[in-house]
Structure 1
């Protein structure tokens, strides 16, 4: 079976039709590329301009182009479902233009399902999702490959062997959900060229989520995307999904009792244009550049905790990983994003209010009684329970303090960092300018992002000693610590 690799282009030639209109089939080619996404080029097509009824039985042709929740087809002998389909271009000639029927129509889609016709994108019909993610194999710290080298007494007297063992999967139940880390290995294979012969072995890790109850497509894609986020957090690099599949439940009634596929789930390939284009053939990261692996926490402990942390700190996680997924851009935007992620992280920790609620209520009543009547409304709007929260600087200092030695190792001078981050954000947001130069703003981004990352790791249960070691050894965090010493310490 061909691997549905999301870094490789694919094409399917066939006939296509709109949901509910199978009699109006149009020939065309569906193409996928990691850079351009999914494009369906039709020879012919359907009416694509939005029309509205006018007065006196007239018809108004608007400037809007139609959008379809799904388009169905059969390409290269496989059922295909395209989701979220819209028009990108159309060529019409002569009389065809009068009727809105194109000679050529090009459509784009966000998702393609290969092997299934999905009636409704929200239908709960899939029982599992499985995918490969960049750096997942290294992160798993599991390998069934063992190399042995033998050296004799004489020069050039050497030999060796490679042993390949298939490892059992790791699995954990998370409520109705089961998460499984598979270890996939191939038998040794060889290749010959005019220059000689090479024999290889190959293994890789993949992650699967499954449940007894069927769920919609997006449920499984969100879970797989969450593992890409976990790899990005663990490596401090943007990690992409290499493959995505979902599964329909078995249909034993369609097969004889002795058929090997009788109790097998039906595999559906999923193609999407992703924010991160995977590069599975690039060299793996050095182990020192991972801040989290299964050596630090067991799979059974980490996966349930990650799903909890990912949800609780969704905003902070999204903003801080977004700085990795979308590199470059204006430094001002990155400053605001990094500091906002820190503020969001602290809010999600649900700290106690600076002033106890009862004391705050008494202070509020005293102040309202002391001001003129025409000022009470103004003051009351500002003295609400929602205003009894830590200041931005207090939030930043709290995030450092809860990290212990790891926080000290990263920021060096907590007061100077907190002031620099607070002032940079406030000046940009409220004044539209900054008192700091670009180097200092860059340091604010890197150090603040590092603090949020360490707090996310702490919430996962990573010990303080491991966090401190990461600051010392991991290249992104150690560089942030260097910036804190050389730039922020002089602010």
Structure 2
């Protein structure tokens, strides 16, 4: 979309009479900056007890909500922080220039209270959403021409029925929409084009009007579902929320702000070997199942998908991240897993305490508090690898026991600042261990969603990234076994 900017006048929401000219910039990544010619007085003055003057605090006054108008368009800026203030008479409130950064902007409304339940819908367009939806409004009809003339072709658009799901009172809909056909005449080039576009939109409708940020979590969760399903990081293309005006008519408000991920050149992303699409599952069943699963394993999933949204960083740090995500996801999905049956554990612990009753309170408390019926990291990973289809896991990891041992060793090295897992030839081992572990966790999530074994196996066999990572990891395991046999 490129960088956008709006010239206008801006003021603190609690001081509408002090208006300052300036320009709001929104970068392609969604970064918001407000450049003012002049500025707001953000000085914190503390008067003397005798009233004879004041001191100026090193702290500055917050302006949590800024309003603005540009060419008749209303703006609300949120999560604001002053980044630069200058002027020869700064202490006399003679500000020449002031710059602000904002975490979010609402284009189309003046909002005075973040908790105001005004918004009746939210709309979200995500990268790859159209192809994940597995529907199209376009059709190409072929016919026979007269005599030996060329065949006739006719492009048509048709309506596609939206699909709906409900989760905890919120209705979530997926719609496939298209624009009308339009002619483009390029006279000098001797060309004419007939074009139309289609796109997919997710709509979130709560039971009751909600605050502006009430849609954030469910939108982020749907973004993660697309990232899981497509095996590619999926950013938000456009976000908006809708309120009802005084006349009862809907008013759409664009939500601007930094994105955790945005594909740098969407036209280069042509890989369609998705793990899961709506050709495989029903939207009405998938969405509530996913949102419940995400809530259950939120911390681990946030770490896991964060590795795709932010794909820069040292291999060792990222490997430690995926190892942590694996442990967190296992703890969430298999919270009742224990090495010993609970009754047997309690019986053994009772015997141990009775056997050391003459050792003093410190030793007794040490046994009571220190002896836990919790699985080791290695056993957690073995159990985690047993959740997806066995054939899919074997195809991915070759040897799940060796994989678990490698991941445990790398995690321990990195957590204890041992650089063995992030230097020299170990970097390559760490990278492919990272990649197959990420793939395994995706299989775990698919299995928990009830995705069939056939689709899980196809994910390993047909997705080019997973298949390549599996082959590289298999080479590493073969090399390790060869060295052990020497």
Task: Compute the TM-score of the two structures, normalised by the length of structure 2.
Answer: 0.91
- Report the Cα offset of residue 53 of structure 1: 4.8
- Name 1:125's counterpart in structure 2: 118
* Distance in 2 between residues matched to 1:165 and 1:431, nearest whole Å: 60
Q: 1:36 to 1:468 in 2, by over 3 A?
A: closer
- Matched residue of 1:23: which SS? coil
- Report the Cα offset of residue 35 of structure 1: 3.7
- Report the Cα offset of residue 429 of structure 1: 0.8
Q: Out of 82-91 and 424-433, give the one that drifted further.
A: 424-433
RMSD (CA atoms): 2.3
2:255 aligned to 259, 270, 278, which one?
A: 270
- Name 1:418's counterpart in structure 2: 404
* Distance in 2 between residues matched to 1:286 and 1:438, nearest whole Å: 27
Contact 1:91 1:102 in 2 (8 A): yes
Q: Deviations over 1:158-209 (max 9, x none)?
A: 5422121121211223342111111111111121222211111211110000
- Name 1:448's counterpart in structure 2: 437
* Distance in 1 between residues matched to 2:407 and 2:207, nearest whole Å: 48
- Name 1:478's counterpart in structure 2: 467
Please give the residue correspondences for 1:201-280 in structure 2 after superposition, counting only pairs within 5 Å.
Answer: 201-249=196-244, 251=246, 254=247, 262=248, 264-278=249-263
- Name 2:7's counterpart in structure 1: 13
Contact 2:137 2:177 in 1 (8 A): no
The answer to whether the aligner puts 1:316 opposite 2:304 as a matched pair is no
Q: 1:284 to 1:438 in 2, by over 3 A?
A: closer
Q: Deviations over 1:204-223 (max 9, x none)?
A: 11000012301111111322
Q: 1:490 to 1:53 in 2, by over 3 A?
A: farther
Q: Aligned pairs, how many? A: 469
* Distance in 2 between residues matched to 1:273 and 1:75, nearest whole Å: 21
Q: Which runs of 5+ in 1 are unaligned?
A: 1-6, 255-261
* Distance in 2 between residues matched to 1:369 and 1:286, nearest whole Å: 64
Contact 1:67 1:86 in 2 (8 A): yes
- Report the Cα offset of residue 87 of structure 1: 0.4
- Report the Cα offset of residue 435 of structure 1: 5.3
- Name 2:58's counterpart in structure 1: 63
1:170 aligned to 163, 166, 171, which one?
A: 163
Q: Out of 192-201 and 438-447, give the one that drifted further.
A: 192-201
- Name 1:469's counterpart in structure 2: 458
* Distance in 2 between residues matched to 1:301 and 1:90, nearest whole Å: 53
The answer to whether the aligner puts 1:87 opposite 2:82 as a matched pair is yes
Contact 2:6 2:23 in 1 (8 A): yes
- Report the Cα offset of residue 327 of structure 1: 0.9
* Distance in 2 between residues matched to 1:53 and 1:346, nearest whole Å: 57
- Name 1:328's counterpart in structure 2: 312
- Matched residue of 1:238: which SS? coil
Q: Deviations over 1:363-415 (max 9, x none)?
A: 223323434214223333312xxx31111111111111121211111111111
* Distance in 2 between residues matched to 1:324 and 1:248, nearest whole Å: 34
The answer to whether the aligner puts 1:406 opposite 2:392 as a matched pair is yes
- Name 2:329's counterpart in structure 1: 345
- Name 1:3's counterpart in structure 2: none
Q: 1:145 to 1:298 in 2, by over 3 A?
A: same
- Matched residue of 1:490: which SS? helix
Q: Out of 467-476 and 27-36, give the one that drifted further.
A: 27-36
- Report the Cα offset of residue 286 of structure 1: 3.4
- Name 1:359's counterpart in structure 2: 344
Q: Which runs of 5+ in 2 are unaligned?
A: 481-486
Contact 2:432 2:469 in 1 (8 A): yes
